[in-house]
Amino acid sequence: MSGLEQLLVVLAGLGAGIATSSIGVASLVSFPVLIAIGVPPVAASSSNTVGLVPAGVSGTFAYRRELAGRRRLVAAVMVLSGASAVAGALLLLRLPSDVFESLVPWLIVFACTLVAAQPRVSAFLRRRAAAAGGQAQADRTAITPPLAAGTAACGVYGGYFGAGQGVMLIAILALGLDLPLAVISALRTIAVFASNIVATLIFLFIAPLDWHVIALLAAGSVVGGWIGAQIGRHLPAPALRALVVVAGVAVAVTYWA
């Protein structure tokens, strides 16, 4: 690997770390770079997952204020995402690498639509529930069965492939919880972190890994994760929502191209 290629991988890790903690499309940045420099697809996917773990550490630390006082919710999101990632990681190693490629862009576009429409959809659901119950509904701040199922499904997807996982999590968590978007971003970051940790533990034993690439990605992503959290915390909710949608559509177009 040339010096320029090494620099590109570090910058890819930085960009992916920023994206992980802010808008949730890390693979748009890092995975194509690994493919471009000649890393085989499965090794690129597994090495990318391992190399972005430091972004989850720094991003979660930076979001500690948003996560404070929500220990049960954070634990539930982490367990659901991490446990279901086991199935996804095993699928990556057992199925052809192109099994889900035709579905990926459609899933991401659907998630982007949910992110864009989330305020209206959530308001409609609350009005409907209030009308049915005859009184205002309390804010939803805990995991419900439908939200648990959606979070687990994202964990499987993240362990297998992961492109756009953050966008999907934003959509599902925002629809299932009445919390500020900055808190949703923090929960999304820790969910992705949990699925990456579990997938990494599996990949260490049974997946092809490029440790040189992992080290370079990690060096960039640990800084990027912290920067991304600052962006996610301080951007107004409409602007953050718009960035998530634009980035998600960009991922979908990339896979259609």
Q: Which pLDDT does position 132 carry in this prediction?
A: 63
**Which parts of the chain sit beneath pLDDT 70?**
27, 96-101, 103-104, 118, 122, 124-139, 161-163, 255, 257
Q: Which pLDDT does position 225 carry in this prediction?
A: 92
Q: Which pLDDT does position 234 carry in this prediction?
A: 83
Q: Which pLDDT does position 101 carry in this prediction?
A: 64
Q: Which pLDDT does position 125 carry in this prediction?
A: 64
- Residue whose structure tokens are 């446990």: 83
- Residue whose structure tokens are 């992992």: 214
Contact call for residues 34 and 9 (beta carbons, < 8 A): yes
Q: CB 7: neighbour CB atoms within 10 A?
A: 12
This prediction's pTM: 0.82
Give dist(CA 165, CA 257) in Å, integer: 19
DSSP track, 162-187? -TTHHHHHHHHHHHH--S-HHHHHHH
Sign of dihedral through CA atoms 204, 208, 212, 215?
negative
Give dist(CA 72, CA 78) in Å, integer: 10
Q: CB 129: neighbour CB atoms within 10 A?
A: 13
Q: Which pLDDT does position 85 carry in this prediction?
A: 87
**pLDDT tens-digit profile of 4-45?**
889 999 999 998 898 888 877 776 778 888 888 888 877 887
